[in-house]
Structures are given as C-alpha cells and as structure tokens.
Amino acid sequence: MTLILGIDPGSRITGYGVVRDNGRNCEYVASGCIRTGNGSMPERLQVVFRGVREVIDTYGPVTMGIEQVFMARNPDSALKLGQARGVAIVAGMEAGLDIAEYTATQVKQAIAGSGGADKEQVQMMVMHLLKLVQKPQIDASDALAIALCHAHHRQSLIPHGLVGAKRRAGRLRL
Amino acid sequence: MTLILGIDPGSRITGYGVVRDNGRNCEYVASGCIRTGNGSMPERLQVVFRGVREVIDTYGPVTMGIEQVFMARNPDSALKLGQARGVAIVAGMEAGLDIAEYTATQVKQAIAGSGGADKEQVQMMVMHLLKLVQKPQIDASDALAIALCHAHHRQSLIPHGLVGAKRRAGRLRL
C-alpha cells in the first residue's frame, strides 16, 4: 500500500490529489486546491510551499507526481508557472518524497487510454476510477489524474506481474 | 546596520551577494555561486533551496533583493528560470526575510547611473563601490549589484535625509 500525491501547479491555484495504491487498484484519499490569494508574489509562493507541505504532513504520501509542463504560451506566464512548480517540487523534496514528472499526453494516455483525450473525458475517468460521486474541481481532478498516472507508471516498474500486462495495454485499468 | 542579500537566480548557477549597509555606504560581506550540478531537476532545485538557506543561516541578512526577470526568450527557459527563482524566493520567505524585486534597468540605473549600462560596466562599478580588488564571477557580481540596488532603494525610503537627496540624483553614491 502506497500513498501517492499528484500536484497540478499554478500561479493562482495549485491542485492536489492523494490516492492509496494497494497494488491492484487505487482508492481516493483526498483532493483539493491551494489558492494563493491576493498577496505579493513571494507571499503567494509561500502559500504554495506551505500548502503542499501541509498536504504531505496530513496524508503522509511517499511519492509525488507532477505534470511536466510543455506549452507554447508566452515567457511571462511560463515564468510564473515555473515559480509555483519549483516551489511545489522543493516542498516535496524537503519532505523526502521521490518525484516523477509526466507529460500531459502520458497522463491522458494512462487515464483515458488516449493521449488526445480532452479535459472532460479525463475528469469523467478520474471519477469512474476512484468511484467519486461528485465531480471534483478541475485543478483537483487534474491532480488526481497525475496521481493515478504516477501509480500506473510505478506499477509498471514491477516486472512480470499482472500489472506489467496491464501496462502493455497502454491504459490504466483499475 | 543592515545585512542585505542579493540573489541572481538561474537553473544552472544562482549567484548570491551579501553587503552590509551602514546607512552611509555599503561594505562587501560575501558573494558566490550556487552550482546546481548534474542531478535530476528536483535535485537541482533542492540545491538552490538549501544553498540560499545556507547563505542566510551563515550571514544573517534580514532583507533580500532579486531581479524581476523580463525577457523575450522561449517559454521553456522561462519555466526553468522560474522554478529556480520561485525556490530562491521561498527559501528567503521561510527564513523570514522581506523580499523586493528590481528590474534589470533599475539595477543598472542604481549601480551605473544608466539603465542602458552593459554588464561589464555594472561589474566594474560593483568592484569600485565595494572596493573589491578581484573581479567576482559574473553571477556573484550580478547578485552584489542587486544587493546594492536594494540597499539604495531601501535608503531612499528614509525621508528628508541625505540619502533622499542622493536618490534624486538617480544613481547610487556610496
């Protein structure tokens, strides 16, 4: 049984999701949003740092997945996103978590079976896989998707198991 | 007497500079580079975080200046720079420092008297102002320039003083 944290960083809202991977499937533990508020930029970054640390302290995940951002947007928003992302990663590192990065395509592939799935489809699959009755806020849902993707890739490292066969199907089956 | 930290963040090298502001002029305390090495991206960010924290623990600055990056470079390098920058800022925040941002133009203006000064001129002025006999490494020199700029702007907040008159001259005179 492993507790896995997924983080979807943003300069305004950072989503988090925690799932429990029991080797055969994943269960929902918690999810939510860290809202950075209207303070100065250093204050907002501190909110992200302390928010991620609080999630780790509360739920005790041992490993963390984070989206590997790739985008054609402007350098200014890339810089702001980078700041929040760096802070979230260091909060994880300082808490002793190992950290893996996944591209958006890898996350969609793992969750919805296709790298071209849209946000809506990913959200529906997250609800289905984790047996959620309510639709999570989109940043929280994205963070849960990253946590599930990380669970999937971790499982795929176990050789010769059922999980390995599942991985070859190119889709997360829980 | 105030100890001031200047930080020039980068994904490979983060420069730092510490100066002692005694109200009338600034003295050199320390400067150097935090080299992030060849580890994974999370490991490199942790090196920046711990490096900045170590500088703060060692010299005890109470306030920090950092360059407000503005650039037309590509989003990928902006993201990487943002990560290092966010981490350096949070290290300062967590140590209780207040943090101010300055544009490159503000730094050049404060140090060399012109926002159009080149890197070489800024480096020469840093050496002159701090009575350095050896040329510091360029990232360390940039960090010292930011620390001096921060000292200058902090002094300019003191009303009706000699320092206020100096500020109106549009240049740092130490």
**How many Cβ atoms from other residues are within 10 Å of residue A9's Cβ?**
27
Instruction: Give the minimum alpha-carbon distance from B44 to chain A in angstroms, rounded to a whole number.
Output: 10
CB contact at 8 A, A22 and A40: no
- Whether residue A72 and residue B75 make contact (CB cut-off 8 A), yes or no, is yes
- Catalytic residue among A27, A67, A94, A118, which? A67
**Nearest-CA residue of chain A relative to B95?**
A46
- Whether residue B85 and residue A82 make contact (CB cut-off 8 A), yes or no, is yes
**Nearest-CA residue of chain B relative to A64?**
B42
The annotated binding site of A for Mg(2+) is made up of 8, 67, 139
Longest dimension (CA), chain B: 51
CB contact at 8 A, B79 and A85: yes
Q: Which of A74, A81, A89, A99 to mutate to test the interface with B (most CBs of B within 10 A)?
A: A89
Residue A72 to residue A52: CA distance in whole angstroms: 27
pLDDT at B164 (0 to 100): 34
Burial class of residue B88 (count of CB atoms within 10 Å of its CB; 0-12, 13-18, 19+): buried
Instruction: Give the minimum alpha-carbon distance from B133 to chain A in angstroms, rounded to a whole number.
Output: 35
Residues 6 or more apart in contact with residue A130 via CB below 8 angstroms: A19, A26, A27, A28, A144, A148
Q: B5 vs B75, which has greater pLDDT? A: B5
Model confidence, pTM: 0.87
Contacting residues of B for A44, CB less than 8 Å apart: none
CATH class of B2-157: alpha beta
For range B103-115, the mean pLDDT: 92
In order along chain A (174 residues), what is the average pLDDT of each group of 10 residues? 95 96 93 96 97 98 90 78 96 97 94 90 95 94 97 71 36 41
CB contact at 8 A, A26 and A134: no
**Nearest-CA residue of chain B relative to A44?**
B90
Q: What average pLDDT does the structure give for chain B?
A: 88
Q: For the segment A143-174, what is each residue's pLDDT rounded down to a tens digit? A: 999 999 999 998 776 543 333 333 333 344 43
Q: For the segment B66-100, what is each residue's pLDDT rounded down to a tens digit? A: 998 766 567 888 899 999 999 999 999 999 999 99
- Whether residue A90 and residue B49 make contact (CB cut-off 8 A), yes or no, is yes
Give me the active site residues of B, please: 8, 67, 139
Residue B166: band (very low, low, confident or very high) from pLDDT cuts 50, 70, 90: very low
Known binding residue B21? Answer is: no
The complex's ipTM works out to 0.85
What is the pairing mode between strands B2-8 and B13-21? antiparallel
pLDDT at A142 (0 to 100): 95
Give the strand order in the sheet containing A98-103. Answer: A26-35, A13-21, A2-8, A63-68, A98-103
- Whether residue B94 and residue A41 make contact (CB cut-off 8 A), yes or no, is no
Q: For the segment B116-161, what is each residue's pLDDT rounded down to a tens digit? A: 899 899 999 999 999 999 999 999 999 999 999 999 998 776 543 3
